[in-house]
Amino acid sequence: MTISKASSTKTFSISSKRRGLEAFGNEDFQLMKPFLPFFLVAFTAFAVSLSGADFSIEKTKGEGLRILHKGKPFAEYVVDQANKPYLYPVHGPTGAAMTRNYPMKKIEGERHDHPHHRGINFGHEGIGGADSWSEQLTWDELGKNPKRAKLVADRVKALGSIKHRSYDKLVATDEHALVVELCDYLDASGKTVISEQRRMTFRAGKNVRSIDFDQELVASAGDVRFEDKKDAGLSIRVPTSMDVTSKLGGTIVNSRGDRDLAAWSKKAKWCDYNGPVNGKRLGVAILNHPTSFGHPTGWHVRTYGLFTANPFASKQFDKNAPDGGFTLKAGTRIKLRHRILFHKGDEKQAKIAEAYEAYAKESKE
């Protein structure tokens, strides 16, 4: 590991020449204003913290990360507590937690269902025959009902995982924190079915915080079948107080104007879930970039709090639609591009439609 200083830009870097971590390109410098502190680090086995002027990244146990903005928590990235990585907790612009706590914590008054709905995560019920949407705890809970025994036995046989391999890049500056991760999707036998490069960019403003969640899914182990599944995609489980079913004022709305139950399965450029959290109206919007696979995406969004951007379902959303399954050829990839906005107020007060138009103009190749 080497440490170097570039005095002309007041740039410091900590870098490793290990495979996948040897270089960083011009795009990182384009994200910087002149003379902003810039740091890059490859984590080793010991604890490391990475600090820019405003953003910082800390390593947590089990190769996890903690993202902070001006010393205050933004999000934690957990890679070793379930069958897939997830972000939890995630804090919005007021500091309030913007995801449900269960199953990481059991809080009185929250819904304790669907334990695989962890914070913010990505999963798919059928890639190469492997299910990374559900998890063992899902079937442990359902298995308590003897009538579900056969279903549970069959589904556990297909249970797969998304395994963290390494961090390819970590950056902290005034303006953003960047995490680039490599993951492998494994079937029940442990065989790799696809690989992923995941790029998460964290930004913060006075009234909004955002996470750009950019994914490239690569058929790295040969041709692979993506099944038509409603239980698939990028998800967040919103706080119970915000969900529609709680009848405390929560609502769902998409770019078409569909609301609540009517928003489920509809294709739209963006979708917003807003409602009361700690006595204030706050919201979460997911924006689907025009270059993202399957744009405009369908929305597996439920009144009980599940909120998923799903471009993989067709017939499972509409029995009269054609099957949406497809085969990704060896060596090819699909790109998923989303921005998650945590905002104050409802979708109109937060100007989500305008935020989408600005996002749609950004290059995401």
Q: Is the pLDDT of residue 34 over 70?
A: no
Residue 115 parent element (H or E) = none
Give yes or no for residue 47 having a pLDDT over 50: no
pLDDT at 48: 63
- Position 256 pLDDT exceeds 80: yes
What's the mean pLDDT in 271-298?
98
Peptide bond just before 276 cis, omega within 30 deg: no
pLDDT for residue 96 is more than 60: yes
Query: Per the structure block, which two tokens stand in for 299?
Result: 């929305």
Out of 35-44, 184-193, 264-273, 322-331, least confident range? 35-44
> What is the percent of the chain with per-residue pLDDT over 90, rounded to a whole number?
81
Which pLDDT band, with edges at 50, 70 and 90, does 49 fall under? confident
Average pLDDT over residues 118-145: 95
Confidence at residue 365, expressed as pLDDT on a 0 to 100 scale: 72
pLDDT at residue 72 in the model: 96
Per mean pLDDT, which range of 29-33, 81-85, 167-171, 200-204 is the poorest? Answer: 29-33
The model's pLDDT over 337-353, given as tens digits with 9 standing for 90+, comes to 999 999 999 999 999 99
pLDDT average, residue stretch 78-93: 98
Bridge pairing between strands 192-204 and 55-59: unpaired
Q: Out of 61-65, 76-80, 85-89, which region has the weakest mean confidence (pLDDT)?
A: 61-65
Confidence of residue 333 (pLDDT cuts 50, 70, 90): very high
pLDDT at 5: 26
Closest CA to 4 of 27, 12, 363, 195: 12
Q: What DSSP assignment string belongs to 97-109?
A: B-S--TTTS--TT
pLDDT for residue 42 is more than 90: no
Domain range summary for the chain, segments of one domain joined by +: 2-360
Query: 318, 265 in Cβ contact below 8 A?
Result: yes
Window from 150-154, 181-185, 289-293 with minimum mean pLDDT: 150-154
What is the DSSP secondary-structure string of 288-347? E-TTSTTSSPEEEE-TTSEEEEESS-STTT-TTSPP--EEEPTT-EEEEEEEEEEEES-T
Tokens describing residue 75: 């999000």
pLDDT average, residue stretch 50-78: 93
CATH number of 2-360: 2.70.98
Q: If DSSP codes are grouped into helix, strand and coil, which group holds residue 262? A: helix
Tell me what pLDDT residue 51 has: 73
**Mean residue pLDDT across the chain:** 88
The whole model's pTM is what?
0.88
